[in-house]
Amino acid sequence: QVQLKESGGGSVQAGGSLRLSCAAPPGYLSGAYCMGWFRRAPGKGREGVAALYTSSGTTYSADSVQDRFTISQDNAKNTIYLQMDSLKPEDTGLYYCAAAPTYHGRDCYVGFPVKSWGQGTQVTVSS
């Protein structure tokens, strides 16, 4: 288990932007891990949004957020980000940061098998 701490959620109008942050332990992003974001919309199950292989920086995004959301990492700050632009009401939900070890990124993809979860941060998009 790794401690992950999210921040950056909030309420915006449709078309607006938010940036989520997820802080990991020092040095974590220099290793071979899959990190990413999941969300749970009201009345729905948890779904993968984006993922990142920390060793290479390779990123993956769900079709529903392609070209609107960008996942990135800052090794110096031990933090990954989810930049969310052109937000829609259907993006509303509780967003979770997640992480897991991975062997050469083979099991790093959107919705990857998670070993550690953050506590979640709420994103609300109004129409």
- 46-105 pLDDT, tens digit per residue, is 999 999 999 999 999 999 999 999 999 999 999 999 999 999 999 999 999 999 999 998
Per DSSP, helices labelled H in the chain are none
Which of the 8 DSSP states describes residue 19?
E
CB atoms within 10 A of CB 59: 16
Residue 13 C-beta-side C-alpha neighbours within 13 Å: 0
* Sheet containing 79-84, strands listed edge to edge, beginning at the edge strand earlier in sequence: 5-7, 18-23, 79-84, 69-74
Q: What is the mean pLDDT of the chain?
A: 96
Angle at 69 (CA atoms; ends 65, 71), nearest 5 degrees:
120
For residue 12, name the pLDDT band (cuts at 50, 70, 90). Answer: very high
3-31: buried (b, 16+ CB within 10 Å) or exposed (e) per residue?
A: ebebebbeebeeeeebebbbbbeeebbee
